[in-house]
């Protein structure tokens, strides 16, 4: 009996020592759930407008929480074979890029720029970062004109366009410089980048409007607020009820015909011109040929006539100062 108890006691001590030496079982960790990623957009459809080459370009972009799911672009006044074609292909481009950071479509520079600008504004609204009103200040941008970069400065005061200026440009004298002269004032007067451009200087006009549109976005505003339709107005000029000769078109041929008629003694001559720029191709057709043996060249360097300028103040008076042509 004593031997049996001693054996049980020994076994108990062995099991007790084994239990003391065994490591404690690690507690089972509860699974950690990852926090859902923050949404990039507020799901919905957003619309924005920017100024294209011929008129407004509108985008309707649809997003879910993290992606662009659809994009529709319209620009009824864009050139069909250039801007119109670009607009038709932009949906696939945007869905692939998932942003407004995509390549400009060749031959549709202004339309593409407007689409990218409008899409950026719409996506900012979807992100909740859009500012409702332009901030006061002066904003300067560079845009591509017909002959190179055009610098456009826009000043906003009280939520309105206070002034637009073009401190630097390389546009063709007598063509693009007409847009530089007239388009900024029209934008301020109408408070719209959808105002009339200068016929014959469409590219320069569109570039200046693009510059102001970019400034609006930089100022935190929406181009749609400054893209209202502007009623076309026409300047009415008094012309003689009767004339000895009426010439349709103030191009090189029309102006020279009028000059020769006046030299021949026909003084009652009227010239009509449909575009905003008289002279036709005169400004771009190598002035060296057009001015050969002219009074303008004879007066070169004398200070009597300025070297360059627009038709209203310099070129026209210099060439036709002796002629009574309208």
H or E stretch covering 152: strand 149-157
Q: What was the pLDDT predicted at 217?
A: 86
Do 151 and 98 share a structural domain? no
Q: Tell me, what CATH number does 83's domain have?
A: 3.90.1010.20
In a domain, residue 224? The reply is yes
Do 263 and 206 share a structural domain? no
Of the residues 104, 130, 156, which one is the last residue of a structural domain? Answer: 130
Residue 313 reports pLDDT greater than 60: no
Do 282 and 214 share a structural domain? no
Do 137 and 111 share a structural domain? no
HEC per residue, 97-130: HCCCCCCCCCCCHHHHHHHHHHHHHHHHHHHCCC
Stated pTM of the model? 0.62
Range among 57-66, 196-205, 293-302 with highest mean pLDDT value:
57-66
Which of the two residues, 18 and 52, has the higher pLDDT score? 52
Question: How many C-beta neighbours within 10 Å does residue 289 have?
Answer: 7
Do 149 and 222 share a structural domain? yes
High-pLDDT (> 70) share of the chain, %: 72
Mark 107-136 as b/e (b = at least 16 C-beta within 10 Å): ebbbbbbbbbbbbbbbbbbbeeebeeebee
Range of the domain at 305: 245-320
In a domain, residue 186? The reply is yes
CA angle 250, 187, 278 (to 5 degrees): 5
Torsions phi, psi of 303, nearest 5?
90, 0
Of the residues 198, 229, 260, which one is the last residue of a structural domain? Answer: 229
In a domain, residue 218? The reply is yes
Lowest mean pLDDT among 30-44, 67-81, 114-128, 213-227: 30-44
Lowest mean pLDDT among 12-26, 265-279, 310-324: 310-324
In a domain, residue 9? The reply is no
High-pLDDT (> 90) share of the chain, %: 32
Q: Which residues contact 198 (CB under 8 A, 6 or more apart)?
A: 178, 179, 182, 183, 204, 205, 276, 277
Which of the two residues, 282 and 67, has the higher pLDDT score? 67
In a domain, residue 237? The reply is no
Do 191 and 115 share a structural domain? no
Domain count across the chain: 3
């Amino acid at each position: 009996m004593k031997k049996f108890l001693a054996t049980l006691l020994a076994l108990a001590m062995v099991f007790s020592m084994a239990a003391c030496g065994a490591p404690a079982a690690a507690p089972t960790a509860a699974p950690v759930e990852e926090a859902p990623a923050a949404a990039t957009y507020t799901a919905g459809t957003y619309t924005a407008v920017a100024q294209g080459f011929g008129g407004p370009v509108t985008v309707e972009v649809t997003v879910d929480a993290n992606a662009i799911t659809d994009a529709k672009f319209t620009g009824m006044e864009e050139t069909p074979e250039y801007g119109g074609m670009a607009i038709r292909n932009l949906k696939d481009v945007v869905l692939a890029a998932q942003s407004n950071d995509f390549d400009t479509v060749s031959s549709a520079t202004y339309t593409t720029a407007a689409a990218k600008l409008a899409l950026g504004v719409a996506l900012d609204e979807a992100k909740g970062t859009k500012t409702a009103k332009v901030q006061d200040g002066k904003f300067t941008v560079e845009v591509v004109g017909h002959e190179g970069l055009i610098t456009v400065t826009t000043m906003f005061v009280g939520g309105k366009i206070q002034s637009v200026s073009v401190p630097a440009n390389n546009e063709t004298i007598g063509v693009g410089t007409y847009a530089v002269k007239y388009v900024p004032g029209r934008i301020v007067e109408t408070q719209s980048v959808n105002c009339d451009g200068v016929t014959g200087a469409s590219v320069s006009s569109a570039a200046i409007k693009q510059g102001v549109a970019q400034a609006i976005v930089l100022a935190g505003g929406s181009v749609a607020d400054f893209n209202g339709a502007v009623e076309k107005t026409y300047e009415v000029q008094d012309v003689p009820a009767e004339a000895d000769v009426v010439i349709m078109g103030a191009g090189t041929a029309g102006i020279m015909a009028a000059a020769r008629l006046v030299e021949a003694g026909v003084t009652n001559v009227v010239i009509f011109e449909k575009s905003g720029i008289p002279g036709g191709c005169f400004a771009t057709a190598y002035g060296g040929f057009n001015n050969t043996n002219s009074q303008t060249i004879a007066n070169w360097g004398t200070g009597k006539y300025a070297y360059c300028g627009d038709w209203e103040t310099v070129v026209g008076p210099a060439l036709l100062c002796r002629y009574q042509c309208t």
